[in-house]
């Protein structure tokens, strides 16, 4: 049997799932799934360019299966959103509660325009546009 990945999803472990969901929906990402369907959110998914981004309660993940995740510690990964207008996404992110890491700038070779922010839970998000 050949193992083939049929879909990609990125999960971000969150201390505050509601704040992260608000942040990503204010960026224009659509909510695609929620569990449980009523009551406090344990896991919710938003969609961007056909990729699902899961926002999972770190507390629930640690309690259910002992993952030992610690949201808000130094980022070792980042979510990259390719877009048509980095400046607009950066401004929208800041209005949605992001913390600036690096404001919009051009790459040294001038081919890309990018910026970095952290969402309300400290996840690093990069916006990139081709010039």
Closest by alpha carbon to 12, among 69, 90, 51? 69
Closest by alpha carbon to 12, among 61, 63, 49? 61
Is residue 117 within 8 A of residue 125, CB to CB? The reply is: yes
Distance of CA 126 to the CA centre of its chain: 9
Is pTM beyond 0.85? Reply is no
**Digits of tens for pLDDT over the chain (131 positions)?**
566 666 778 999 999 999 999 999 999 999 999 999 999 999 999 999 999 999 999 898 888 877 777 877 766 678 989 999 999 999 999 999 999 999 999 998 999 999 999 999 889 899 999 99
Q: Using DSSP bridges, classify how beta strands 124-130 and 112-118 pair: parallel, antiparallel or unpaired.
A: antiparallel
């Amino acid at each position: 049997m050949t193992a083939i990945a049929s879909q990609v999803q990125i999960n971000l472990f969150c201390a505050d799932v509601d704040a992260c969901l608000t942040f990503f929906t204010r960026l224009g990402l659509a909510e695609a799934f929620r569990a449980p369907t009523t009551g406090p959110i344990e896991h919710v998914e938003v969609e961007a360019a056909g990729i699902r981004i899961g926002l999972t309660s770190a507390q629930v993940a640690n309690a259910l299966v002992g993952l030992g995740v610690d949201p808000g510690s130094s980022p070792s990964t980042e979510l990259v959103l390719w877009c048509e207008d980095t400046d607009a996404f950066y401004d929208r992110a800041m209005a949605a509660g992001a913390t600036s890491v690096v404001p919009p700038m051009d790459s040294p070779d001038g081919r890309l325009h990018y910026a970095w922010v952290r969402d309300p839970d400290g996840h690093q998000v990069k916006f990139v546009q081709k010039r």
